[in-house]
Amino acid sequence: MNKFLSAPIIINSREFFWINQPVHFSFEKDVLTIDTSPETDFWQRTYYGFRSDTAHALVTERKGDFTFSIKTDFKSKTLYDQCGIVLYQNNDNWIKASVEYENSDFSRLGSVGTNLGYSDWATTDISSSISTMWYRLSRIGQDFLIENSTDGAKYSQLRMLHMHLPLVDARIGIYACSPGKSGFRAKFSEFSIGSCGWAGPVSS
């Protein structure tokens, strides 16, 4: 039995709001399309030293535990082009998961957890022929589970992590960005949310 029971979300301006609104975007038949602006990104300090808080994100606030999922379709063409799921609290505390374009042969499926102003980056290489990915983000208190799927049915664990900033309302949604000199087109659909389907820890 599938524990992840969720309901479709209708994207509207009453519940969702932009962080770094893109110049070009559209809603049509429950599909959000974003044309990313060049030199946009979410990253904080680690290794590279720079701080960037310019990625396009559309988020909504949710209390309590939940499972949130989306589908992404993308036509990446430049190094580090990316689009995916996001939890964005402020510029020093957030989570993102996406496929980041590397070259015509492979891209990097991965996630970034940013706690108290420092980002990390965990990845695995996948074929750049993949242009569709589903993501699922589940919350239990301060802990989060990120999963991904290539068919929207079978999901695999991508990451489990803890957010240090105390959360009441979690800002969850989608994001897209192009750290390079040119943008790309990303599409988001199948927005859904429901009670948390992530099983809690089993006591010994």
Query: What's the pLDDT at 202?
Result: 67
Which of the four pLDDT bands, split at 50, 70 and 90, describes residue 204?
A: low
> For the domain that residue 157 is a member of, what is the CATH number?
2.60.120.200
DSSP 107-125: EEEEEEEEETTEE--EEEE
Total domain count for the chain?
Answer: 1
Residue 111 in tokens: 């996630």
Domain membership flag for residue 71: yes
| 148-160 pLDDT per residue, tens | 999 999 999 999 9
Whether residue 5 has pLDDT greater than 70? no
Specify if 200 maps to a domain. no
In a domain, 123, yes or no: yes
The pLDDT score that the predictor gives to residue 8 is 83
Assess if residue 7 is contained within a domain. no
Q: Which residues pair with 178 in a beta bridge?
A: 38
pLDDT of residue 33: 97
Q: Each residue of 95-145: pLDDT tens digit?
A: 999 999 999 999 999 999 999 999 999 999 999 999 999 999 999 999 999
pLDDT digits over 95-109, tens only?
999 999 999 999 999
Instruction: Tell me if 55 is assigned to some domain.
Output: yes
User: Domain span at residue 138?
Assistant: 16-194
CA dist 21 and 27 (Å) reads 14
Residues 98 and 85: their CA atoms lie apart, in Å, by 7
Average pLDDT, stretch 39-53? Answer: 96
pLDDT grade for 1, boundaries at 50, 70 and 90: very low
